[in-house]
Structure 1
Amino acid sequence: MSQSSGGFHHRLRQLDDRRRLAFMAALCERLLPNYALYAEHTGSGDIAALRNILDLVWEHLLVKGAKIDFDRQADKLAELEPPPDDDSFGARRALDAVVALSALLDGLRGEAPEAPLEVSMTSRGGVRAFIELTEGEDDDQRLAALVREHPLMADERDFQDAVLEAVEEDELDRDALKALRRLGRNDGVSNLGLTLD
């Protein structure tokens, strides 16, 4: 199934709140290894704290009436950003994970109708940046074609399609959410094809 952005974006907008949150949570799962790698290599950041915030989101989705103070979690999340003076590639991809999780928390608090699209674009933007970094193509048109046809970008499109299809299923029950979380964790491989191992 090809992903015409209109069709994909339209389908994202049609989701109810719970399904939108589940979509974003799954995409955030796949961004966490990038943050973990950055934290491990620089000693900056706290992957356990980031992981805990995302776990609370899943708990909110899985446990009816789970009482979680997401304003407080948003404050904690702000402290997990890479230092503003670190402009390295690793810091920017770690920041992607924080930005995506921040959009998810905004969505949870009902403040961000465009949050799912923001998370989708953040994840894609990281893949594009990685391809641009590794392929080193100066010609803009050639680079655009390269990005479009790159296996990592194809994988990203397929992954987001699979997550969207999963959240569109009739019953987003406990089992479906657990399966979605496994899909997002992607065996510990991030959207950039990187893993802590």
Structure 2
Amino acid sequence: MTTKLGFFKRVKALDFQQKKVFAIALCQRMLPNYQLFSEVCEFGDPQVLDTVLNLLWQSSYDSKLKLNIDIYLERLELNTPDPANFDVYGVYPAMDATTALIALLSALQSKIEEDIVNISKLSSSTVANYIEAISDVELDEEAFDDFIFNHEVMLDEKALQENLLTLIEDNPKLNAEFIKSLRKEIVDAGVSNIGVGMQEG
């Protein structure tokens, strides 16, 4: 548990710009979850999320770029699926993908750094819910928590967030070259926090 606390202490110790890039990277990783759901259930427009992500990345190194946050918040709300309307598990990670972007835009607008940090927790909770959905095990609550915490997909998520955090800590200047290469790395990896592949097109 101490390592977990240590991790969030480190995230909180980042400056505003570093927190922003950390959160954008995590949101980028959640995009395939929305793309797949949108394709399968013919709901929403993944391009809206893609556009918001592109603008967020760009705004991280181009101070002249001004985001009209209210317009994008409205578009994201319109493209957020309601689980009550879908009988598929994929609605939840898709909803988390838009929720994460809405939370990030709102945090940037209000300058509430704690809300940016919460994107990390949201990404991990998407993974925890996914593990719960795919696992058919009978365990008491504490044992089940341990099972989720030590599941391969959760270990991958923790490792990725840890590596991402270290990378950002080691590059406090966050110039355009660093941000562009980080974005390319995540997009090229082409896989989400729950192992969903990037959709072409």
TM-score, L = length of structure 1 = 0.92
In structure 2, the gaps of 5 or more residues are none
**Is the contact between residue 166 and residue 180 of structure 1 (CA under 8 Å) also seen in structure 2?**
no
Q: Over aligned residue pairs, what C-alpha RMSD do you find?
A: 1.8
- CA distance in structure 1 between the aligned counterparts of 2:2 and 2:103, rounded to whole angstroms: 23
* Structure 1 residue ranges (4+ consecutive) displaced by more than 3 angstroms after TM superposition: none
Higher alpha-carbon deviation: 178-187 or 53-62 = 178-187
Higher alpha-carbon deviation: 180-189 or 20-29 = 180-189
**Is the contact between residue 34 and residue 194 of structure 1 (CA under 8 Å) also seen in structure 2?**
yes
**Is the contact between residue 163 and residue 180 of structure 1 (CA under 8 Å) also seen in structure 2?**
no
What residue number does 1:137 align with? Answer: 137
2:118 equivalent to 1:118: yes
What residue number does 1:150 align with? Answer: 151
Offset at residue 12 of structure 1 (A)? 1.1
What residue number does 2:197 align with? Answer: 195
Which of the numbers 172, 175, 178 marks the counterpart of 2:174? 172
Question: Structure 1's 3 and 81: CA in aligned 2 closer, same or farther, altered over 3 A?
Answer: farther
**Is the contact between residue 18 and residue 172 of structure 2 (CA under 8 Å) also seen in structure 1?**
no
Query: What amino acid is the match of 2:195?
Result: G
Question: Structure 1's 35 and 54: CA in aligned 2 closer, same or farther, altered over 3 A?
Answer: same
Offset at residue 84 of structure 1 (A)? 5.0
Pairs aligned (count): 196
Question: Structure 1's 72 and 8: CA in aligned 2 closer, same or farther, altered over 3 A?
Answer: same
**Is the contact between residue 83 and residue 92 of structure 2 (CA under 8 Å) also seen in structure 1?**
no
- Classify the secondary structure of the residue corresponding to 2:133: helix
- CA distance in structure 2 between the aligned counterparts of 1:66 and 1:46, rounded to whole angstroms: 24
- CA distance in structure 2 between the aligned counterparts of 1:48 and 1:113, rounded to whole angstroms: 27
Question: Structure 1's 69 and 48: CA in aligned 2 closer, same or farther, altered over 3 A?
Answer: same
Offset at residue 85 of structure 1 (A)? 2.1
